[in-house]
Amino acid sequence: MEKGRSTKDWRPHGWVRVRMRVSVATDTGKVRQRNEDSYVVDTVRGLFAVCDGMGGHRGGDVASRLAVRSIHAWIKDNPPGSSITPLEGAIQHANRMVWEESQKDAELKDMGTTATAALIWENRLFIGHVGDSALYLIRNQQIDKLTRDHTLAEQMVSKGLITGEESRNSAYNHILTRAIGIAPRVEIDSCQIPLAYGDVILICSDGLSDLLTPQQMLEIYRQNPGDLDKIAEELVQTALSRGGHDNITLILLLID
């Protein structure tokens, strides 16, 4: 398992000073031959994102790496301030970059990736989301999923055809209805919420969220209060112990 160090940071100059701690972990898992997940952590700009290359598609790892680089580059060149949805431009830019690359190379045709990104600006959390990676907020010892999976199973849940619990084991749970790079433009879910001291943000690929329920994630958090590296390690090891059938990547962020 590749792990990232916890860090503390004060963002300089135009960025509101928010102190944070971060831990990152990624693992290929027990079944996949390569890790098609990619991530970006930029505490200076308050940008955090996970992209999961589409399994079974050529170039999934290329798509996820290109997407995180494109999101990061866009935020560097277009710092938030004027836009109420600063991540929409970044993710749309990433979608265009992946789409154009897939059209140039027959080996990369039909490649795609998810993208779930968080941006902290002026004590607010901005979220941009496409696909079935996920973002959770832990606050006051409770956990809430702030993103909605763009899958056929989730559509069936919304129509009352199956329950949320049934969707976890549904064959339709991995059929994406939206992804980065499969068309020239993509529909992006975006929202923003105010942050509070002690908030914990968890961004992860479905290699984690498929195998642990939100309550199980919360229990691991409660057992290791404040130790982000330990929490990250326990989350990954639990997913591996339950089969590890996909790549596992997570970013844990504590507003401190």
C-beta of residue 149 within 8 angstroms of C-beta of residue 174: no
C-beta of residue 27 within 8 angstroms of C-beta of residue 1: yes
DSSP string covering 116-157: EEEEEETTEEEEEEESS-EEEEEETTEEEE-S---BHHHHHH
Q: How far is CA 68 from the centre of its chain?
A: 10
| Nearest CA-CA partner of 119 in 151, 150, 147, 88 | 88
Edge-to-edge strand order for the sheet containing 248-255?
A: 2-9, 20-27, 248-255, 200-204, 134-139, 142-145
> What string of pLDDT tens digits covers the 256 residues of the chain?
776 655 554 443 344 557 899 999 999 999 998 999 999 999 999 999 999 998 556 689 999 999 999 999 999 998 887 566 789 999 999 999 999 999 998 888 889 999 999 999 888 999 999 999 999 999 999 999 999 999 998 888 788 887 877 777 777 788 899 999 999 999 999 999 999 999 999 999 999 999 999 999 999 999 998 899 999 999 999 999 999 999 999 999 999 8
Q: What is the pTM of this model?
A: 0.92
Amino acid at 160: G
| Nearest CA-CA partner of 209 in 159, 157, 247, 253 | 247
Amino acid at 94: A
Tokens 């919420």 correspond to 193
Walk me through the domains of the chain, giving residue ranges and CATH numbers: 2-255 (3.60.40.10)
Residue 236 has, within 13 A of its CA and on its CB side, a CA count of: 24
Which parts of the chain fold into alpha helices (H)? Answer: 60-77, 86-104, 152-158, 164-168, 206-209, 214-223, 228-241
